[in-house]
């Protein structure tokens, strides 16, 4: 159950750069991601956010991270439309999208040198 998910991570203070991926739910961050942010100290850390959505975009998810994770540097996020679960297509990278999305992610990561470190 979602309510039983752990919202803290062992040795959290050792991590400097943290990728946070989330879906868009009701054009916002799901509550379990909000709980994760609220239950951990992000001061001085760098957050690299990414998002999957069902066709309406990231909504307020990236802005919420910036305002909720106090003291963190939140870098530009990457967002992509998800698969079409109702049609049995679960992956964004299906078929012709694989190369396109792979290139987009590489470009996104290169903007802050995440491919090298």
Ligand X SMILES: Cc1cc2nc3c(=O)[nH]c(=O)nc-3n(C[C@H](O)[C@H](O)[C@H](O)COP(=O)(O)O)c2cc1C
Q: Is 114 in the site for ligand X (CB under 6 A)?
A: no
Q: How far apart are CA 62 and CA 105, in angstroms?
A: 17
Rounded to a whole number of angstroms, the minimum distance from the CB of residue 85 to ligand X is 6
Q: Which of residues 63-102 bind ligand X (CB under 6 A)?
A: 82
Given a contact cutoff of 8 angstroms between Cβ atoms, the answer to whether 55 and 42 are in contact is: no
25 or 46, CB closer to ligand X?
25
The binder of ligand X chosen from 9, 27, 89, 115 (CB under 6 A):
27
Structure tokens at 109: 């990561």
Tell me the HSE value of 58 on the side-chain side, using a 13 A CA sphere.
16
The packing angle between helices 61-68 and 31-38, to 10°, is 20
Q: Is 50 in the site for ligand X (CB under 6 A)?
A: no
The binder of ligand X chosen from 35, 46, 50, 52 (CB under 6 A):
52
Which residues of this protein are in contact with ligand X, per CB under 6 A?
23-27, 52-56, 82
């Amino acid at each position: 159950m979602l309510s039983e998910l752990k919202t803290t991570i062992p040795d959290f203070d050792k991590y400097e750069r943290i990728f946070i991926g989330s879906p868009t739910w009701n054009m916002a961050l799901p509550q379990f991601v909000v709980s994760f942010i609220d239950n951990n100290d992000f001061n001085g850390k760098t957050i690299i956010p990414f998002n999957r959505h069902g066709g309406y975009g990231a909504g307020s998810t990236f802005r919420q991270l910036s305002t909720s994770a106090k003291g963190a540097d939140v870098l530009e996020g990457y967002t992509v439309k998800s698969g079409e679960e109702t049609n049995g297509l679960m992956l964004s990278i299906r078929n012709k999208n694989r190369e396109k999305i792979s290139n987009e992610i590489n470009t996104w990561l290169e903007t802050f040198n995440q491919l090298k470190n």
